[in-house]
């Protein structure tokens, strides 16, 4: 009872901080729902935030800027209650925001700190990334190429990727028309019908946000697999070229021996 009362006081206090705009109310509502949701739903809420933030950024920076403190807190909260698999997905969301410059560096640093803690996350420069792309790493050198088992595992994981999830595709295709056609809002005649529609919209948003988040993760996985395959093929070509060169040298030695024996016989 005491915890519930304390939470209500905090909620009331935070509600007063909202400036009364619709955006502030939605930010406040999002924060509360993240904290109250079950662990397996918290990641979906961050996927939802990713969709909203990136769509809002196209219209203007105001909402994204106002949302920054909440998203940092959400990252801390979800990270503290998540396993390594969930943190990996959080890292993917963060990498997307870094790549697309969704937030300024100071906010991105706060997000990195929230996700990784005191462990320093060193960002590579563009030049360092290009060097890695143009050269085989120690792991992918001709003597120690990327393991085929790693490539097979990565390919197998993509078999369960979002783009091939027929069940989710069917659920999306079966979404009620009420959540797709705004003209049907006229059918709302009372509070009960309004609440029913609100719940349908919330459920649809969560379904789509989770699917979009999985798609983003799949894209990241496919990029990583492409790099692995590129490194593997490049190193195998270098390995083959080295063996062909050695074979040529051996053939030259054999030819010299044959020529020498021919001269001796004569």
* pLDDT exceeds cutoff 70 at 5: no
Closest-CA residue to 89 (of 133, 49, 30, 52): 49
Q: What are phi and psi of 144, to 5 degrees?
A: -145, 70
The DSSP bridge partners found for residue 46 are none
Q: Given a cut of 90, is residue 243 above it in pLDDT?
A: yes
Q: Is the pLDDT of residue 140 over 60?
A: no
Tell me which of 133 and 48 has the higher pLDDT.
Answer: 48
State the CATH architecture for 1-123.
Alpha Horseshoe (1.25)
Tens-place pLDDT, residues 29-54:
666 666 767 766 777 777 877 777 77
Sign of the torsion formed by the C-alpha atoms of 166, 168, 172 and 175: positive
Q: Is the separation of the CB atoms in 86 and 78 below 8 Å?
A: yes
Residue in this structure with the two tokens 């996927």, named with its chain if needed: 47
Q: What is the pLDDT of residue 240?
A: 92
Predicted local distance difference test score (pLDDT) of residue 247: 92
């Amino acid at each position: 009872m005491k915890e519930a009362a304390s939470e209500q006081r905090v909620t009331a206090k935070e509600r007063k901080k909202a400036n009364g705009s619709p955006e502030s109310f939605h930010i406040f509502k999002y924060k509360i729902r993240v904290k109250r949701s079950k662990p397996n739903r918290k990641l979906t809420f961050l996927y939802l935030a990713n969709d909203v933030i990136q769509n809002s950024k196209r219209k203007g920076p105001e909402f994204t800027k106002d949302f920054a403190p909440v998203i940092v807190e959400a990252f801390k909260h979800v990270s503290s209650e998540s396993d390594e698999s969930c943190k990996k997905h959080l890292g993917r969301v963060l990498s997307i925001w870094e790549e697309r410059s969704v937030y300024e560096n100071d906010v991105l640093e706060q997000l990195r700190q929230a996700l990784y803690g005191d462990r320093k996350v060193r960002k590579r420069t563009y030049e360092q990334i290009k060097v890695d792309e143009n050269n085989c790493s120690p792991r992918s050198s001709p003597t120690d190429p990327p393991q085929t088992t790693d490539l097979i595992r990565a390919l197998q994981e993509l078999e369960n990727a979002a783009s091939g999830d027929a069940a989710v595709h069917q659920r999306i295709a079966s979404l009620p028309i009420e959540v797709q056609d705004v003209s049907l809002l006229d059918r709302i005649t009372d509070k009960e019908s309004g609440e029913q529609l609100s719940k349908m919209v919330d459920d649809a948003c969560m379904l789509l946000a989770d699917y979009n988040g999985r798609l983003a993760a799949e894209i990241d996985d496919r990029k990583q697999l492409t790099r692995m395959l590129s490194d593997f093929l490049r190193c195998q070509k270098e390995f083959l070229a080295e063996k062909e060169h050695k074979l040529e040298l051996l053939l030259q030695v054999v030819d010299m021996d044959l020529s020498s024996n021919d001269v001796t016989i004569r």
